[in-house]
Amino acid sequence: MSFENFGIVSFTAETKASDFVSYLEKGQVMATRCRKCGTNYFPPRMDCSKCLSSDVEWFEIKGEGKLVTYTVVNYGPTGFENDAPYTLAIVDFDKVRVFGRLSKGIKEGDIKPGMKLKVLPVRLPGDRIGYEFQRV
Ligand SMILES: [Zn+2]
């Protein structure tokens, strides 16, 4: 699988970061780190925008993150119309900040900034794969 299978709608063509999807297949949500200056990237980048080095390594986003902020999307953009409502969130993990969707299993009334979340790969319809935030 490659980036063509990532998410509900693909916006990303084949890229140098296509290993990201292979890691999802293995159950890991990964970010990248620049070996030269130590900057962490999510979504993963294979070229550091700070120091322009291409010497990067992958690392897994593990453990508990904290919800920074979120928004409920009631009217989805093109390709996501049938999927709304869903919740987009920003979650701070130890080394990296991650943007993504909250599991639909978490009710809106239960969502609170600061709540603990983990990030896990999820299977999507049509042999696609993505990731989402779930309760710890
Ligand atoms: Zn760098």
Q: How far is the CA of 29 from the centre of ligand 1 (A)?
A: 21
Q: How far is the CA of 47 from the centre of ligand 1 (A)?
A: 8
pLDDT, mean over the chain:
90
> Domain spans of the chain?
3-135
Q: What is the mean pLDDT of residues 48-63?
A: 95
Instruction: Decide if pLDDT at 101 tops 60.
Output: yes
Instruction: Decide if pLDDT at 129 tops 50.
Output: yes
pLDDT band at 16 (very low <50, low <70, confident <90, very high): low
Q: How far is the CA of 43 from the centre of ligand 1 (A)?
A: 15
Long-range contacts of 19-25 (CB under 8 A, 24+ apart): 19/58, 20/44, 21/129, 23/58, 23/60, 24/121, 24/129, 24/130, 24/131, 25/1, 25/121, 25/129
Q: Show the tokens assigned to 103.
A: 């599991």
Instruction: Decide if pLDDT at 13 tops 50.
Output: no
Q: What is the mean pLDDT of residues 45-73?
A: 95
Model confidence, pTM: 0.85
Q: How far is the CA of 57 from the centre of ligand 1 (A)?
A: 11
d(C-alpha 91, C-alpha 125), whole Å: 25
Decide: helix, strand or coil at residue 136: coil
